[in-house]
Amino acid sequence: MICYEVLPWLTTAIAVCYGIYLTYKTSSCCDRKDKVNRQIDLDNSKVVHSFDIEDLDEKAVFCRCWKSTKFPYCDGSHNKHNESTGDNVGPLIIQKK
Ligand code: FES
């Protein structure tokens, strides 16, 4: 049997606990809104690619938005990202003279 005098306090306590839960949940590593990489090699602690400049073609276009399905190469996904977020990211283009 619940005493009705305690009900407002119990409701407040539940609301505070839920607020703390939401704060903790959104700041955990996987749900952080400021996380850049959300799809590429997520099992690795760091995503690193290395290329020998001599092995590149005359022109290489690398993704810097982390949205490309051909990462580390750009596939144009930055255009959709920029349209939906207002961001202005684009690829890194390396050309041999
Ligand atoms: Fe990421 Fe083009 S797809 S910069």
Q: How far is the CA of 27 from the centre of ligand 1 (A)?
A: 26
Whole-structure pTM value: 0.67
Q: Does 56 have pLDDT greater than 60?
A: yes
The closest-lying atom of ligand 1 relative to the alpha carbon of residue 64 is: 4
* Ligand 1 in reach of 64 Cβ (< 6 A): yes
In the prediction, which pLDDT does 78 show?
Answer: 98
Q: Which residue did the predictor score with more confidence, 65 or 11?
A: 65
Q: Three-state SS across 13-76?
A: HHHHHHHHHHHHHHHCCCCCCCCCCCCCCCCCCCCCCCCCHHHCCCEEEECCCCCCCCCCECCC
Q: Which domain holds residue 17?
A: 1-31
- Judgement on whether residues 19 and 42 belong to the same structural domain of the protein: no
Report the pLDDT averaged over residues 9-32.
Answer: 72
In the prediction, which pLDDT does 16 show?
Answer: 83
- Judgement on whether residues 43 and 71 belong to the same structural domain of the protein: yes
CATH code (residue 39): 3.40.5.90
